[in-house]
Amino acid sequence: MALSTKSEGAVEALVRYTGGLDFADSEQLGSAFTSDAILDLTKFSKLGMEIPILQGREAIVQTCMQTVGIPLDTTHSLSNFQFFPGADDDQLRVKCYAEAQHFRKGQGLMQTDKDHYWSKSLYVALLTCEAGVWSINHLVIEPVWSIGNVAVLSELASGS
């Protein structure tokens, strides 16, 4: 599908990333990133999680699927997009918020108290366009606020 503007292409790439997580779709998730992409989650150290910088599409997909996409039921919603010119016509910088709900697999629809983690994060991304397709080259995610049990994520990040 041809997108008419840079901003639409950038939004679509970020939606491929969050949709890949939500639907546990590694192909969709991978399509959101350039082959040499960087995903920086180091700012999650504010929450006691030590997550190394992920480099390369393969490492990003493998880690994200193992820690979020497969073991959790999630929803990610993006909002408040701001767009800034990149160094050339094939680059765009984007800031937006992502609100995400994370439940242990199969627990999202339970009618009892839920062991969940709900958060809002700031996404700061550099996107590039190759052959008419926008992809994430560098994404930094910084938590802004959260509610719930961070262990839903931190157990995964620590490998426990």
Name the average pLDDT for the chain. Answer: 89
Has residue 2 got a pLDDT over 60? no
Q: How far is it, in rounded angstroms, from Cα 34 to Cα 49?
A: 26
Whole-prediction pTM:
0.90
Q: How far is it, in rounded angstroms, from Cα 68 to Cα 5?
A: 31
| The predicted structure's pLDDT at residue 109 | 77
Domain boundaries 6-158, CATH class:
alpha beta
Extents of the domains making up the chain: 6-158
Q: How far is it, in rounded angstroms, from Cα 114 to Cα 23?
A: 20
Q: What is the pLDDT of residues 66-124, one digit of tens each?
A: 888 888 889 999 999 999 988 898 999 999 999 999 888 888 777 666 688 899 999 99
